[in-house]
Amino acid sequence: MKICLHIKSFLLFCISLLLTNVVSKIVPTECSNFARKIYKPSKVVQLNFFPHPLHNKINSEKNVSEKLWKSSNLTKRNNCNLGKKQTYSNLDKGINNGRNLHTKGNVLCNKKMKLIIQLLNKAKLYDFKFFSPAKINLFLRLKEKKETYNEISTLMHSINLGDDLFITVLSREDQKRLKHVLYPCTSGDFLTIRKNKDYDREHNDKKSCQTYEKKDIHYYNNYPLNEDNIIIKVLKRYREELGINDDIRFLVHINKRIPIFSGVGGGSSNGASVFYFLEKYFYKYLKSNELKHEFLKKIGSDISFFTSSGFAYCTEKGNYVIDLGNAQATISEKRIYLFQVNEGLSSKSVYENVNYDKIVQYNPVTLLTNFITNSDSNKIAKIVEEKEKNFLNRFVHVDKMDMQNIFLNDLEHSAFLLVRKLKDLKYFLISQNIFNVVTMSGSGSSLFAITKNDMNLNSEKWYVKDLIKHVREKLNVKIKVYLCDFLRKREHFWYKPTKIAEVIT
């Protein structure tokens, strides 16, 4: 009997060691210090944003138990020794008594970043960092005006102009401390943005970190730092739809490079980057691509594109994505110059002014074939043609088009009526005879130009710098110019450019 008990104890000990080893191996280490500390079953989660019951599943079940993640960093922060607590207490007193140099607000200079790092007891501001790329619309076709949206067909490609997103996971204690110096969103999360000296100089701001607070605490350079931001929309909807009721919130800090209202998808890209973080490194609830796409469709039009390879044909509202990851683009080795005028355009105003009577219904399938060089082009065209079958009888078939007309954007006419300088800039750039293509991207106030590549890079950049001066003198238009490359992402990875787009001054 005793021998049996000893054998049973030994077997239990071995099983315990085996389980410990398995758990330690599944802890994600890449880009993360997080470990799954607790798997606590909670109330059943019912997905209510999928209409079909087959779609209303996670891990092939109609419901799942909520997984609670806790960071080892959070535990360390909340178990600080007495000396650390005294330091925090002194910081709090300094802030509350007005002795701190920084007023409350979400625009961060270097000194305020250091203060936040102190408050969070961290070595650096973030736990995760992501590159959030811009995109350009190689062509954008308007097919039909629906009651609540416009039916479009567009070919998009990501570029190496992008923002940096820094994400920090916050415990309840962290959130309380940050409320002394930052304004939280209604979701409880915090959005901050890096101070832009050029913007402040242009708007005659003083040298303090937060002079913009006197104007509007929720916007900086037209960038929303509240629930209007798509980042917060993603976080709120994710928690609501998946029934996440934990105390964890996030500090998302943006180093903004993508110009606002420029038609290159900066806001959507930011939201997609945060969604990637939630699914890749944190909660991981939506296991299938179908579930992820259905979720993102509810957020916005362009956001789904950024989960593709960075080269995709998009239709419906722009949120039905046909990934062209295996296709080779004819323009992949070309250099792109993005010209942004100093006046923003909202998508709403551009779409409201569209005159469908002036639109020629060129076949987008024909346009697409001009952008693909590899042997799969016919196969891809058939897939797209099947998706566009309800509109095929309306399309105008064109056997051959010159390069400028292949890169067409049906929103240009509306945008040019709203911002005349955009039209003047386009035709001025075309007249310079160094670009094969000049066209508008999306619905914003920027044009992209693809070079002929008959100059070496240094000569080309010198020419563009001179061109900027002529635009300011002859057209009286202030522009900002970016030299960009096309960018793709690998499957299961996020965007990682080898170099960042260069600002030409």
Full set of structural domains in the chain with CATH: 105-197+222-502 (3.30.230.10)
State residue 265's pLDDT score: 94
State residue 210's pLDDT score: 43
State residue 203's pLDDT score: 58
Which tokens hold the place of 14? 């071995």
Token pair 């923002």 is at which residue?
163
Q: What confidence category does residue 16 fall into, taking pLDDT thresholds of 50, 70 and 90?
A: low
Task: Let me know: does 32 contact 128? Beta carbons within 8 Å.
Answer: yes
Lowest pLDDT segment from 27-41, 277-291, 359-373: 27-41
**How many Cα atoms within 13 Å fall on the side-chain side of residue 251?**
29
Q: What confidence category does residue 166 fall into, taking pLDDT thresholds of 50, 70 and 90?
A: very high
Q: What confidence category does residue 75 fall into, taking pLDDT thresholds of 50, 70 and 90?
A: low
pLDDT at 181 over 90: yes
pLDDT at 495 over 80: yes
In 3D, which of 241, 188, 269, 193 has the Cα closest to residue 58? Answer: 241
pLDDT at 51 over 50: no
**How many Cα atoms within 13 Å fall on the side-chain side of residue 380?**
28
Lowest pLDDT segment from 63-77, 96-110, 192-206: 63-77
State residue 146's pLDDT score: 87
- What is the phi-psi region of residue 111: left when phi exceeds 0, alpha when psi lies from -120 to 50, beta otherwise? alpha
Q: How far apart are CA 363 and CA 391, in angstroms?
A: 9
Q: What confidence category does residue 67 fall into, taking pLDDT thresholds of 50, 70 and 90?
A: very low
Q: What confidence category does residue 221 fall into, taking pLDDT thresholds of 50, 70 and 90?
A: confident
| Chain Cα centroid distance, residue 429 | 29
State residue 5's pLDDT score: 55
State residue 376's pLDDT score: 76
- What is the phi-psi region of residue 318: left when phi exceeds 0, alpha when psi lies from -120 to 50, beta otherwise? left
State residue 276's pLDDT score: 97
Q: What are the tens digits of pLDDT across the range 22-39?
A: 333 333 433 333 333 332
Q: What confidence category does residue 304 fall into, taking pLDDT thresholds of 50, 70 and 90?
A: very high
**How many Cα atoms within 13 Å fall on the side-chain side of residue 125?**
25
pLDDT at 468 over 50: yes
Q: What confidence category does residue 287 fall into, taking pLDDT thresholds of 50, 70 and 90?
A: confident
Give percent helix, percent strand, percent coil of the chain, each to the nearest 5.
Answer: 35, 20, 40
Q: Is the dihedral of CA 426, 428, 429, 434 positive or negative?
A: positive
Lowest pLDDT segment from 150-159, 324-333, 365-374, 396-405: 396-405
Q: What confidence category does residue 162 fall into, taking pLDDT thresholds of 50, 70 and 90?
A: very high
pLDDT at 45 over 50: no
Other CB atoms within 10 A of residue 178 CB? 20
Q: What confidence category does residue 342 fall into, taking pLDDT thresholds of 50, 70 and 90?
A: confident
The per-residue DSSP string of 343-385 comes to S---HHHHHHT--GGG---B-HHHHHHTTB-STTHHHHHHHHH
Task: Let me know: does 142 contact 149? Beta carbons within 8 Å.
Answer: no
Say if pTM beats, i.e. exceeds, 0.85: no
Q: How far apart are CA 300 and CA 315, in angstroms?
A: 13
Q: What are the tens digits of pLDDT across the range 202-218?
A: 655 444 444 444 456 78
Which tokens hold the place of 340? 């942004």
- Out of 111-115, 199-203, 248-252, 292-296, give the one with best mean pLDDT: 248-252
